Structure 1
Amino acid sequence: MAVLKLTDQPPLVQAIFSGDPEEIRMLIHKTEDVNTLDSEKRTPLHVAAFLGDAEIIELLILSGARVNAKDNMWLTPLHRAVASRSEEAVQVLIKHSADVNARDKNWQTPLHVAAANKAVKCAEVIIPLLSSVNVSDRGGRTALHHAALNGHVEMVNLLLAKGANINAFDKKDRRALHWAAYMGHLDVVALLINHGAEVTCKDKKGYTPLHAAASNGQINVVKHLLNLGVEIDEINVYGNTALHIACYNGQDAVVNELIDYGANVNQPNNNGFTPLHFAAASTHGALCLELLVNNGADVNIQSKDGKSPLHMTAVHGRFTRSQTLIQNGGEIDCVDKDGNTPLHVAARYGHELLINTLITSGADTAKCGIHSMFPLHLAALNAHSDCCRKLLSSGQKYSIVSLFSNEHVLSAGFEIDTPDKFGRTCLHAAAAGGNVECIKLLQSSGADFHKKDKCGRTPLHYAAANCHFHCIETLVTTGANVNETDDWGRTALHYAAASDMDRNKTILGNAHENSEELERARELKEKEATLCLEFLLQNDANPSIRDKEGYNSIHYAAAYGHRQCLELLLERTNSGFEESDSGATKSPLHLAAYNGHHQALEVLLQSLVDLDIRDEKGRTALDLAAFKGHTECVEALINQGASIFVKDNVTKRTPLHASVINGHTLCLRLLLEIADNPEVVDVKDAKGQTPLMLAVTYGHIDAVSLLLEKDANIDTVDILGCTALHRGIMTGHEECVQMLLEQEVSILCKDSRGRTPLHYAAARGHATWLSELLQMALSEEDCCFKDNQGYTPLHWACYNGNENCIEVLLEQKCFRKFIGNPFTPLHCAIINDHGNCASLLLGAIDSSIVSCRDDKGRTPLHAAAFADHVECLQLLLRHNAQVNTVDNSGKTALMMAAENGQAGAVDILVNSAQADLTVKDKDLNTPLHLACSKGHEKCALLILDKIQDESLINAKNNALQTPLHVAARNGLKVVVEELLAKGACVLAVDENASRSNGPRSTPGTAIQKEE
């Protein structure tokens, strides 16, 4: 909120501040605007209310001032009067209908403001006019919260007397007691507790009032709560007790009090950290640590990740506290889960004094930590030269050890070139860290710069990869081989050309929020990379060396977009970079274009003859740039004459197709504008797809609009016969479809399977589109709605259960009779259990359709029985479906259900529909034969339960087999028993007996075999 100069304000405002009613009347008489606004939308009435001048407030209101005017913070004059604690002003405003429920931008009412500002008299005037004193602001805080926060005892008393909810909580579930405890308002705390406030209440993160008081060092409140007997070791959601919180915030007086009251000094939180861990790390936790140690805290207790309190001092460099811990038995070389000792941690964070303390106390400098690194590795990697010096000189008094060894052994007890898990020595780490002093220290101690890690990289590779010029200079000067290759065939020059700028950008982005600073930092890094590259080239680095994939340093510089590096490399090498026999699958041009490095691309274009050079898949640089949407690269390439007609070897796409796939409309526009041939807009790929088809398929509406603007053919078909409209409806991109429909697209065009856009709309459930397409289609003379198999849109809508589409189609007379494939829409609905769709058909046409047959003579009832769709079966039976109708093979619905083991359908057909059990198919099989033939025991038993006729029990099929033959052969023991109980003949002979020369085959023999 700005502070304005009074002399710059209107005369009326100045008069109000002067408190002169007569002058105000005179100004108003001169038509001075009583509702004039300042830069923050405050009116003169706001000023008068702020000053608490009741007489002037009255005068302004009677002169037309708006009593409920709001400034840019939505504060009304009543808010201002209350904040100034002027009872008279409040009464005048309320008399003139000031809104006592008005809210500012923080949703605070005048009562909130009164509570925060100890305006008790004002609150007494306002409260009787309110329906509730428990209204909350944007943060969920009531007036009681504000009064408690500010320690206004009288206001708290008033609010409680007027019905304030003492346990009301804000959006973080904090009560008024939390706020009073945090601020140390002991009188308010006592008052709230005396009125029934819940002393053990917790907020959303589990903090109690004791936590709150402890965190802010409110010792008197802490004592009061402890005297009330609250649980001293109560934890929050993180497992922290009040002692944890006090230690974290360095509240030593509270820590002392909590310990005296018996707090557990070794209580671990959810991560295993004790109060001692927090005291060890905290900025102001030194005295807390002393108190804990003196009161029995375990100095060697470890967290879940293995960190001891000594580790925590190492993280933050608390060397005095580390001494205290060590003197009280702290284990110097204890390791965390990564294997790091406190010395590793101190080395990583560069705390030289703490390193000195640890070494003096006997810390093992040769202890292996994370990835088997020494502390020296970590100090060098993080560029802490003072720490490296300390670690290297830690064992000078034992230097006699080196006299008995041919190798250079540090007096601290380890060989300086000992590798870590990945084969990296301390010199590798120093080269990566970038502090040349670390490298010099290691070299003076005998470090071997020829050592390679497990990937074959030397320290020079690491220095080059991170653009550390001085490190490169030092290593090369001392004899490092600039053309040494790693296991991938890369030299230091490859790494310098790439220079790991992605990592550097991340680091810089974290450090610099200002975009200009970020750009300057990037330019500096680019210059440093160029400097490294130039130095390597001056020292005979070979830019023509290719790695195992055929890439040289030019490829790497192009891939990472280092323009200056590219210029330098192109100047120093005579060999081109377009050779097809290089082994590289992509040229530098491809790499720069794909990654969007337009400046690097422009450098390469100056040296290129063939702009349409292809990669292993036949793609040009223009194709890749268009695919990735790098507009500047696309523009640079087409300005230099790159062809937009080149197709790749795999998909046969052009750059136009590539730009459309990901919706890069700007690239598409550039490509279309450069095209001489207008037909390029309809160029096809290997699948016959045009750019328009792809734009519609992927839902890129801007690209669709541009292509239509360039007269793309909307009715072109791909190799499947699909148009852009087919594709749009298939993928459901509404805006694209609508745009095509506005272009008079062909509605009844058919794909290779004879399906029109109407078929797709019905199948996909797009009822709105279907309705629009249908109206357009019916206006045409020759409208055929059948695909190559005779299926109509109604078939597809029913098959997929799209009720809205069915309703749209049935509105048209031509769809209220079944045409096309005899497997009718009703069959389609029933076979997929779409009962509602079937009901729509039956209601719109009539019940006679339940008798329709497909080309195999099957009715919808057969379909329901086949799929065991019980509800559909019952629906058809309610519409008088003939239960005993047979198909071309002589099977009824019951026989189909029995043969397929659909017990639910069999149950309904046998018990409810009274299906005829004597019907036989063309092979003279009864339903019982069919159930037994497939081993469907439950179906067979349901049928058997209704058979009383012994002749049906012993009925024979064409193979002279009775149900007993079939059941016995299939091992249906229960069915066999039931058949025998109902009089099945065990001596019946099937046809196999008449053809065999051996014993006659009877059911009895089959049963014996089974047993």
Structure 2
Amino acid sequence: VNPVDRWDGTPLADAVRAGHRQVVEMLSAAGAELKLDVSQTSVKLCDKAREGSVEGVRLLLDGSADVNAADYDGRTCLHLASATGNLMMTRELLKAKANVNSVDRWGGTPLADAVREGHSSVAKALLEHEARLEFDEVKTSSELCECARQGDINGLTMLLTAGADPNACDYDKRTCLHLAASVGNVAVVKRLLEHKAIVGAKDRWGGTPLADAVREGHEQVSELLLAAGATLDFSAERDARELCESARLGDIEGVKLLLAGKCAVNATDYDGRTCLHLAAATGNLVMAKELVAHGAGVSITDRWGGTPLSDAVHGGHFEVAMELRKHGAELKYSRLKTAGELCELARVGDTNLIRTMLAVGAEVDASDYDGRTCLMVACATGNMHVVQVLLDAKADPSVKDRWGATALADAVREGHAHVAKMLLAVGASIDLEPSEVVSRLCDYAGAGQLEHLELLLNCKADVDAADYDKRTALHVAASAGHLHIVEHLVSRGCRVDAVDRWGGTALSDAQREGFTHVCKFLEGRRQLVVLKRSSSQEQLNLK
């Protein structure tokens, strides 16, 4: 009765697979065997359990299949029946002496599967056979906390009924009561209190369920916990943390609850920050007013020397900044820090923050380690709007940096004609050393940068200024073949016959380099100069 075919199948296996009960019974009575190994048995049983085929499972069991055979993941058919919520299948397997507490690869039991999937009737049947969850504390807490977070009171009740400890805590020592209080679920909190959840349990940071409820502004939950004997007993550090977090979230009701619970309004955290710092940083005017009304210090400095006022300024919260200013708040910046902040704002073109900083007392002419001011940076970037804001604030355009350059020099160097015009209109001067002026003139002339050259000349630079070799901008422009520069310099009245150290003129330079178009223009100008001189000499002779 046990011949084996090509695929290791037996007559009994064929009868079971085809569902022929009478044949199965006859073969079994005659001593037939399935000839299946454990893995094959488990797969077939689990597959039938997944399909919900009670008859298929019965046939396999009648064929001597091991009801507790586990697959590659340690899963048994009872796991599958429980996970799918098949009560009839579950009872059939329990009748066949299935191990009610078999554990799979992940530590899960049939009861855990039933509870997780919300199959209360299956869970009840398993519990009647002394089933256990076999959860460790962290796993128990995780499952309970997730139910509490989702407000799944049925799942929570099933876990508790299955023996889960309501006071199990996770890796951060958080309990499900912490979570229920945090989300404000009144029904879940009541159920946990009925199951003797500890109201004073503290998490890793010393937080209690009541602290969570207060922080989140859940008044009903807070009242339930207080009635159960909970107390709000914060350390100074916790005062700061709770107040700062509520301020950051804009939870004014939560802040009021904390202050009513005697939290210190000026409590500082590990970085010296107070709740007013956070309110100012987030631009919450209502919160800031509430805290100031409760005596919050407006000039307390944090680890980095920042005040609530500086936080408001950085965040661009003008109304909050002015409210704090009304109560005597100060930036408390050094001159160097003021310069750094203003210069960076000038670089990015943030006129709103610049106005705010100036409105709360920042010095517009504060200079950095290189003597640079925000006006210099604004001119270097060519931002007309920032320049106008700074000029309106009476920024001094005559201030010089480490290298003796002024704001106008920056504008000219970068070719920002519109900015240079604004500065000249308020009386600014480029105020460069003669050697620097001629160096720039020659550099612009050689590079063919007419706009830069024109800017420098408009700043009263001497068009005939000569360098250490007595070379002028005209010499350099002619040597480079830049006719448009040559024409412009001549139109500005430069001398066409100026001689350098070696006796060279602009014309001789152009001839040497082979720039005939420049030569032609300069030759014409030279002849015109000669004619003018001859005419002047004749007039003198006549006199």
Q: TM-score range by the shorter chain?
A: 0.5 to 0.7
Indicate conservation of the 8 Å contact 2:405/2:430, yes or no. no
1:792 equivalenced with 2:289 (yes/no): no
1:884 aligned partner, one-letter code: S
Match of 2:46 in 1: 494
Per-residue CA deviation, residues 609-650 of structure 1 (Å, 9 max, x unaligned), is 5654368x786543443344322332343456533454445x
* CA drift at 1:714: 5.4
1:683 aligned partner, one-letter code: D
Match of 2:79 in 1: 555
CA distance in 1, matches of 2:78, 2:386: 71
* CA drift at 1:731: 2.7
* CA drift at 1:768: 0.3
Q: 1:851 is paired with a residue of what secondary structure? A: coil
CA distance in 1, matches of 2:454, 2:371: 26
How does 1:656-735 map onto structure 2 within 5 Å?
A: 656-659=177-180, 664-671=185-192, 674=195, 678-680=199-201, 682-684=202-204, 710-713=230-233, 717=237, 723-735=241-253
1:544 equivalenced with 2:68 (yes/no): yes
* CA drift at 1:808: 1.9
- Aligned counterpart for 1:808 among listed residues 302, 323, 334: 323
Per-residue CA deviation, residues 159-198 of structure 1 (Å, 9 max, x unaligned), is xxxxxxxxxxxxxxxxxxxxxxxxxxxxxxxxxxxxxxxx
* CA 755–611 in structure 1, closer or farther in 2 if over 3 Å, else same: same
Indicate conservation of the 8 Å contact 1:785/1:792, yes or no. yes
Indicate conservation of the 8 Å contact 1:590/1:624, yes or no. no
Match of 1:736 in 2: 254
* CA 809–657 in structure 1, closer or farther in 2 if over 3 Å, else same: same
Match of 1:289 in 2: none
CA distance in 1, matches of 2:310, 2:199: 41
* CA 805–620 in structure 1, closer or farther in 2 if over 3 Å, else same: closer
1:684 aligned partner, one-letter code: R
Match of 1:777 in 2: 295
* CA 852–482 in structure 1, closer or farther in 2 if over 3 Å, else same: farther
1:476 equivalenced with 2:11 (yes/no): no
1:583 equivalenced with 2:105 (yes/no): yes
Indicate conservation of the 8 Å contact 1:684/1:691, yes or no. no
Q: 1:632 is paired with a residue of what secondary structure? A: helix
Match of 1:632 in 2: 154
Indicate conservation of the 8 Å contact 2:375/2:407, yes or no. yes
Match of 1:655 in 2: 176
Q: 1:873 is paired with a residue of what secondary structure? A: helix
Q: Could you say what the CA RMSD is over the residues aligned between the two structures, in angstroms?
A: 5.7
Match of 1:875 in 2: 389
* CA drift at 1:881: 0.9
Match of 1:850 in 2: 364
1:810 aligned partner, one-letter code: R
Per-residue CA deviation, residues 44-74 of structure 1 (Å, 9 max, x unaligned), is xxxxxxxxxxxxxxxxxxxxxxxxxxxxxxx
1:884 equivalenced with 2:436 (yes/no): no
Per-residue CA deviation, residues 917-970 of structure 1 (Å, 9 max, x unaligned), is 3458xxx899969x99xx9x89956854645535998789xxxxx999xx99xx
Whose relative contact order is higher, 1 or 2, with alpha carbons under 8 Å and at least 6 apart? 2
* CA drift at 1:755: 1.9
Indicate conservation of the 8 Å contact 1:794/1:806, yes or no. yes
CA distance in 2, matches of 1:904, 1:694: 61
How does 1:636-647 map onto structure 2 within 5 Å?
A: 636-638=158-160, 641-647=163-169
How does 1:325-336 map onto structure 2 within 5 Å?
A: none
In structure 1, runs of 5+ residues without a counterpart are 1-449, 451-471, 500-527, 957-961, 989-1003, 1006-1011
1:877 aligned partner, one-letter code: L
* CA drift at 1:712: 4.0
Indicate conservation of the 8 Å contact 2:299/2:308, yes or no. no
- Aligned counterpart for 1:613 among listed residues 126, 131, 136: 136
* CA drift at 1:798: 1.7
CA distance in 2, matches of 1:978, 1:713: 80
Per-residue CA deviation, residues 675-707 of structure 1 (Å, 9 max, x unaligned), is 575530x3126xx77656766787767656656
Match of 1:756 in 2: 274
Match of 2:533 in 1: none
In the superposition, the TM-score normalised over structure 2's length comes to 0.62
Indicate conservation of the 8 Å contact 2:277/2:311, yes or no. yes
Indicate conservation of the 8 Å contact 2:101/2:132, yes or no. no
CA distance in 2, matches of 1:705, 1:797: 35
- Aligned counterpart for 2:332 among listed residues 813, 819, 840: 819
Bigger Cα displacement from structure 2, 549-558 vs 872-881: 549-558
* CA 630–538 in structure 1, closer or farther in 2 if over 3 Å, else same: farther
1:785 aligned partner, one-letter code: I
* CA 696–926 in structure 1, closer or farther in 2 if over 3 Å, else same: farther
Per-residue CA deviation, residues 430-477 of structure 1 (Å, 9 max, x unaligned), is xxxxxxxxxxxxxxxxxxxx9xxxxxxxxxxxxxxxxxxxxx999422
* CA drift at 1:852: 4.1
Per-residue CA deviation, residues 897-924 of structure 1 (Å, 9 max, x unaligned), is 788x69598556655555443458xxx8
Indicate conservation of the 8 Å contact 1:644/1:654, yes or no. yes
* CA 676–596 in structure 1, closer or farther in 2 if over 3 Å, else same: closer
Q: 1:786 is paired with a residue of what secondary structure? A: coil
1:679 aligned partner, one-letter code: G
* CA 820–842 in structure 1, closer or farther in 2 if over 3 Å, else same: closer
Per-residue CA deviation, residues 251-278 of structure 1 (Å, 9 max, x unaligned), is xxxxxxxxxxxxxxxxxxxxxxxxxxxx
* CA drift at 1:771: 0.7
Per-residue CA deviation, residues 637-670 of structure 1 (Å, 9 max, x unaligned), is 3456533454445x66443455456554433444
Indicate conservation of the 8 Å contact 1:870/1:904, yes or no. no
2:243 aligned partner, one-letter code: L
Indicate conservation of the 8 Å contact 1:917/1:943, yes or no. no
- Aligned counterpart for 1:949 among listed residues 458, 461, 470: 461
Q: Percent identity?
A: 22
1:622 aligned partner, one-letter code: L
* CA 803–903 in structure 1, closer or farther in 2 if over 3 Å, else same: same
In the superposition, the TM-score normalised over structure 1's length comes to 0.37
CA distance in 1, matches of 2:430, 2:384: 19
Match of 1:44 in 2: none
Indicate conservation of the 8 Å contact 2:79/2:110, yes or no. yes
Indicate conservation of the 8 Å contact 1:590/1:621, yes or no. no
Indicate conservation of the 8 Å contact 2:438/2:465, yes or no. no
CA distance in 2, matches of 1:975, 1:618: 84
Match of 1:569 in 2: 93
How does 1:180-329 map onto structure 2 within 5 Å?
A: none
* CA 584–641 in structure 1, closer or farther in 2 if over 3 Å, else same: closer
Indicate conservation of the 8 Å contact 2:214/2:222, yes or no. yes
* CA 570–676 in structure 1, closer or farther in 2 if over 3 Å, else same: same
* CA drift at 1:769: 0.5
CA distance in 1, matches of 2:200, 2:119: 31
How does 1:824-843 map onto structure 2 within 5 Å?
A: 824=338, 827=342, 835-836=351-352, 838-839=354-355
Flag the structure with higher helix content.
Answer: 2
Per-residue CA deviation, residues 528-563 of structure 1 (Å, 9 max, x unaligned), is 776776666556565434444443333334434445
* CA drift at 1:757: 1.2
Per-residue CA deviation, residues 474-517 of structure 1 (Å, 9 max, x unaligned), is 942289999999x9998454355455xxxxxxxxxxxxxxxxxx
Match of 1:25 in 2: none
Indicate conservation of the 8 Å contact 1:857/1:888, yes or no. yes
